[in-house]
Amino acid sequence: MAPGSGGGVSRRRLIGGAGAAGAAGLVLGAAGGAGGYAATRDDVPAALTTIGSTEEMFHGKHQPGILTPLQARGHLIAFDLAPGAGRKEAAALLRRWSAVAERLMAGRPSGDGAGHDTGVALDAGPSSLTVTFGFGRTFFDRTGLVARRPAGLDPLPSFSSDHLDAKRSDGDLWVQIGSDDALVAFHALRAVQKEAGEAARVRWQMNGFNRTPGATAEPMTARNLMGQVDGTGNPKPAESDFEKRVFVQAGDAAHAWLEGGSYAVVRRIRMLLDDWEKLTVDRQERVIGRRKADGAPLSGGTETTEMDLDKAGPDGRLLIPDNAHARISSPEKNGGAAMLRRPFSYHDGLSDDGTPDAGLLFICWQADPFRGFVPVQRKLDRGDALSPFIRHEASGLFAVPGGTAPGEYVGQRLLEG
């Protein structure tokens, strides 16, 4: 269980006496660069044969997939409610989705006994599967619940690095699927799609990956596709204000359904890898503000050493440049603004010009996106040295309700309250 996450959250149990799961991290520097703390699994790496035995809990204070250690495979999928579908149909859909997610996360077939499981993951265990559900701004219009739509779902501002494709952005409903096994993740994706039935239609889907637990000799922070150690500055669950930064606290009655939940900002950030890889390692490090080999700040120390933003070299120049990504995105430079970054990398082949269509499915979690993501991204937008090497191509903002009690479905307090 992640420290500071509350009773019953992201608990795991091992089935059949198998060993503990391996290392992965909660990662990412704001808007796609290195500069965040990775909350890694505390135990030693697992043999690959034990990965399938690890189970995440569906019920709890928070939904799974937020505090869960970073998984090897991920699918993000957004739906729009079908024409004519409203609150009643949405409630029935969330009830079906919650039931199938609970079964699959426990390593059971997706069917309810009717025999319609595809059998794709028949031989596998839970494999750290998580399924997380969220609501977009338009969901409240479609269901007649505008009065209960929180201010945190106000539209995000535009940024100069945005080249957003509306067809791959936003959506009434959002589902995040993660697992340490590709077939288990795909099985859950198909189950969610099938259970949508006539109530909702797929708006967009994105597929991602990370390092597999147990692939390194010891637990370590993940790397992104730029080769940077990525995730060193995330807020730590053991910090006293972690819950207040990441999760929505008790508030007014109209928004009580969101208590224990969070806001997810989802961005497809393309990395211009051909341009990036032309830079020398020294130049890459100055763009980021950290050493490529181990993620340590250029001001010295190890990966977890606090950055000394005022330290200069013998020539009088700041060791961490003024426009370095790690400097600009740091809480110290953003009034303490912080978010829990938990992304997946992606690679969708080559573009028409032959350049790789690859980068980051950036996902960050916070109690208020206008005190987390927005101020940091605004600061990055004004002079981040990383900006010439990335492009934001899709965007979404979703309110993710708190976790459920046994017998309850996700969103029930909103849809039936």
Q: How far is CA 201 from the centre of its chain?
A: 23
What per-residue confidence (pLDDT) applies to 49?
72
- Catalytic one of 172, 180, 181, 230: 230
Share of the chain above pLDDT 70, in %: 88
- How high is the pLDDT of residue 112? 60
What does the pLDDT look like over 50-105, one tens digit per residue? 889 999 999 999 999 999 999 999 999 999 999 999 999 999 999 999 999 999 99
CA 366 to each of CA 29, 77, 78, 281, 340: distance values in angstroms, whole numbers, following the listed order: 14, 20, 20, 33, 7
Mean pLDDT over each residue of the chain, to the nearest integer = 88
Least confident of 382-386, 394-398, 408-412: 382-386
The rounded percent of the chain whose pLDDT value lies above 90 is 76
What would the pLDDT profile of 244-283 be if each residue is shown by its tens digit?
Answer: 999 999 887 778 999 999 999 999 999 999 999 999 999 9
183 vs 220 pLDDT, higher one: 183
Question: How many residues would you count in the chain?
Answer: 417
Is a pLDDT exceeding 90 seen at residue 25? no
Q: Is the pLDDT of residue 17 over 60?
A: no
Largest distance between two CA atoms of the chain: 73
* Residue 45: predicted pLDDT: 55
In contact, 180 and 72? CB cutoff 8 Å: yes
The confidence score (pLDDT) of residue 380 equals 94
pLDDT higher than 80, residue 18: no
Q: What is the pLDDT of residues 116-137, one digit of tens each?
A: 788 999 889 999 999 999 999 9
Of 71-85, 204-218, 356-370, the one with minimum mean pLDDT is 204-218
Convert the pLDDT of each residue in 276-328 to its tens digit: 999 999 999 999 999 999 999 999 999 999 999 999 999 999 999 999 999 99
CA distance to 38, 77, 135, 194, per residue, from 189 (Å):
26, 8, 18, 9
For position 331, what pLDDT does the model report? 84
Q: Per-residue pLDDT tens for 28-55?
A: 343 333 333 344 455 555 666 788 999 9
| pLDDT at 11 > cutoff 60 | no
Which residues are registered as beta bridge partners of 208?
A: 74
Q: Is pLDDT larger for residue 215 or for residue 202?
A: 202
Residues 231 and 295: their CA atoms lie apart, in Å, by 9
Return all residues near 61 (Cβ < 8 A) that are at least 6 apart.
5, 6, 7, 8, 9, 260, 402, 403
Task: Please confirm, yes or no, whether 230 is among the known catalytic residues.
Answer: yes
pLDDT in tens, 330-343: 988 888 888 999 99
Residue 379 has pLDDT above 70, yes or no: yes
Token pair, residue 156, equals: 């995000």
pLDDT of residue 47: 67
